[in-house]
Amino acid sequence: MEKRPLDVAVISDVHLGTYGCRAKELANYLKSISPNILILNGDIIDGWQFSKRYFPVAHIQVIKEIMQLITSGTRVFYITGNHDEMMRRYTDLQIGNFTLTDKLVLEIDNKMTWVFHGDVFDNTTKGGAKTLAKLGSSGYSLLIRFNRFVNFILKIFGQERVSISKRVMAGVNKAVSKINDFEMIAAELAIEKKYDYVICGHIHQPQKKVVENKDGKVTYLNSGDWVEHLTALEYQQSEWTIFEYDEKNFPATNEKELKPKLDVITDQINFYINSLAI
């Protein structure tokens, strides 16, 4: 497959290390693009649910593709989120084309773009509510597994798949957005700071819209997730667009063929992952 050139690509809420992560699809997407800048906008590795017993080949493939982009000249910015907050102790780490940070401001085509995960505006990830949020995250992971079992049965009987988990997540996100006024707070802060764009993740809801108030306007963007929506933000030809993954446009992935190619780097990747879990 010929790689698509992009100025910037943004992904978030991948949740590597969980059953809900759609790692095969994300690896396919990463193999299909050649961005000048790749922004990993939080919750890439799920430290809340991480287990050394579950990190399959497809998840390692995602890390391999990111590493391949770095070695090919792509600048990669990893912005920490709440599920990978354990990495915040290493904020401002820079190794070659890779930078780890909590937030990012970029000037792109003379426009100022502010990028951060967004959990700072979510009261459910702070204090005592954080424990409940972690329990809810574990429950959501179980729901994903149950949903896949239901769809397996439906497929046997020739019925269309359903997304129980997406409906539940949509309900949760509406509640979170209502309580915290997530999008408006982010947009109004960006207007106050005179930014042209503000990019978030966290609420798993892809979005592109212009927010305006008496002080000005800003374009609010959200990259969605790689659990349910399978979306990314792409910047090319002076325009931001939301990419939606469609499996019909990508070749099937054979994990048995991938494994021998990944064995060389698996031990090294697991070493770093295990060190982050300490």
The lowest-confidence range among 42-51, 137-146, 174-183 is 137-146
Q: Are 223 and 10 in contact (CB under 8 A)?
A: yes
Q: Are 119 and 125 in contact (CB under 8 A)?
A: yes
Placement of tokens 């773009």 in the chain: 113
What average pLDDT does the structure give for the chain?
81
Predicted pLDDT at 137: 47
CA gap 241, 137 in Å, rounded: 29
- Average pLDDT (207-223) is 96
Predicted pLDDT at 2: 87
Band of pLDDT at residue 97, cut at 50, 70 and 90: very high
State yes or no: pLDDT of 142 exceeds 70.
Answer: no
Bigger pLDDT: 12 or 204?
Answer: 12
| Neighbouring residues of 164: CB distance < 8 A, sequence distance ≥ 6 | 143, 146, 147, 150
DSSP notation for 69-132:
HHHTT-EEEEE--STTGGGGGGTT-EETTEEEESEEEEEETTEEEEEE--GGG-GGGSTTHHHH
CA geometry: angle 181, 47, 245, nearest 5 deg: 65
Tokens of 234: 């792409």
First to last CA, the chain: 39
Band of pLDDT at residue 132, cut at 50, 70 and 90: very low
Band of pLDDT at residue 155, cut at 50, 70 and 90: low
Predicted pLDDT at 259: 55
Predicted pLDDT at 135: 42
The lowest-confidence range among 80-94, 179-193, 250-264 is 250-264
Residues in the chain: 278
Band of pLDDT at residue 143, cut at 50, 70 and 90: low
The percentage of residues in the chain with a pLDDT greater than 70, rounded to a whole number, is 69
Predicted pLDDT at 53: 74
CA gap 278, 276 in Å, rounded: 6
Band of pLDDT at residue 216, cut at 50, 70 and 90: very high
Q: Are 146 and 183 in contact (CB under 8 A)?
A: no
Band of pLDDT at residue 258, cut at 50, 70 and 90: low
Predicted pLDDT at 267: 54
Domains of the chain by start residue, with CATH: 4-277 (3.60.21.10)
